[in-house]
Amino acid sequence: APPANGGTVASVASTGSAPDWQAVASAVSPAVVTIQVQSSSSTGMGSGVVYDAKGDIVTNYHVIAAAVQSGGKIQVTLADGRIYDAEVVGHDRTTDLAVIRLVNPPSDLTVARFGSSSHLTVGAPVMAIGAPLGLSKTVTTGIVSALNRPVEVAVDDDSSKNNGQGDSSDPFGQQKRNQSSSDTVITNAIQVDASLNPGNSGGPLFDEKGQVIGITSSIATMSRSSSEGGSGSIGIGFAIPVKLADKVAKQLIKSGTATHAYLGVTLDTAGATADGEKRGGAKITSVESGSPADKAGLKTNDVVIAIDGKTTAQGSALTGYVRQYSANDKVKLTVIRDSKKQDIDVTLAERKDS
């Protein structure tokens, strides 16, 4: 399939039953960059991937948040060592994605090929490239451990804590915080066991053909109270699926902002019984007046167990799925109401986030 963004990285063919990671790394590494952000109160580092020949770079919002909030300076180091200043094109807290653009970009940029995440299966081989702990061009490999894993993280605009590196026990800002500066991001993520560490944020996740299939964004870490506590990789990392990343990147490049479909409900996680079977689901605790949910006839205490046939065993899973859709998309929700299962069609609407 042609790349979603007109990438220039050559497709890599496997030479046998195992991926040729040496060939993949050689082909794609020039499209991966290291990002340094400096403001009056903090410094930070992350990774990114070249999206187009104009010098647009896709990364995580939390990587460049200090520059957005404090007018800090962004510098991008290409794989060959050349350094360029960069400006923010647009950002989206809701998905923790951002696009920055090189100032006076070179004419010989290598553009990554954004592929498809729909073909992924559990067990598929993957490669991550980024700058963990500041070590640029670091390559790690692994497999897809799970798909559509609901991941809820907090994106904190104040990166001045700990010199911009975040809490040592929470390097990606994952723990929920009761701070007005934090926005919750819910993503039905690709879970991988490839080693990811602070500094990998915003970098690309590749398949064995060298296509970008995700943007690495967070990791699971042991809690402080754990005897094995630590902030490094424990083999559980998460990436934003490329379908969502590409959709948001296109919107940010076009207008500087992104729009998201919404349902118009508040959710909890609860089980419900129908046809003698109890299932986990997303329980509706309130319905916004005039919202798509209200117009479709959804009610408080309905338990949504699937959207377009995809299981929603948690409230966060339904939220993550809805954010993958666009305004005016029609979806079919499978709902348990009064111990009876039924399908309800909903036309999603647009909600714009700054």
The predicted-structure confidence for 282-322, as pLDDT tens digits, reads as follows 999 999 999 999 999 999 999 999 999 999 998 989 988 99
> One of 39, 56, 62, 260 is an active-site residue; which one?
62
pLDDT score, position 11: 82
Does the annotation mark 108 as catalytic?
no
Helix (H) / strand (E) element for 64: namely helix 61-70
pLDDT-based confidence at residue 340 (cuts at 50, 70, 90): very high
pLDDT score, position 184: 74
Q: Is the pLDDT of residue 161 over 70?
A: no
Q: Is the pLDDT of residue 222 over 80?
A: no
Section 8-15 average pLDDT: 79
299 phi and psi angles, rounded to 5 deg: -130, 155
Q: Between 319 and 156, where is the model more confident?
A: 319
**What pairs with residue 102 in β-bridges?**
86
> One of 96, 157, 170, 246 is an active-site residue; which one?
96
Q: Which residue has the tokens 């911009």?
A: 164
Does the annotation mark 255 as catalytic?
no
Cα separation, 238 vs 114, whole angstroms: 18
Cα separation, 233 vs 221, whole angstroms: 7
Taking only the tens place, the pLDDT of each residue in 86-136 is: 999 999 998 999 999 999 999 999 999 999 888 899 999 999 999 998 899
What percentage of the chain has pLDDT greater than the value 70? 87
Cα separation, 299 vs 265, whole angstroms: 9
Lowest mean pLDDT among 34-38, 62-66, 148-152, 339-343: 148-152
Cα separation, 210 vs 96, whole angstroms: 23
DSSP string, 149-186: EEEEEEEES-TTGGGGT-BTTBTT--S----TTEEEEE
Percent helix, percent strand, percent coil in the chain, to nearest 5: 15, 45, 40
Does the annotation mark 145 as catalytic?
no
pLDDT score, position 1: 66
Q: Is the pLDDT of residue 215 over 80?
A: yes
> One of 201, 233, 291, 316 is an active-site residue; which one?
201
**What pairs with residue 280 in β-bridges?**
271
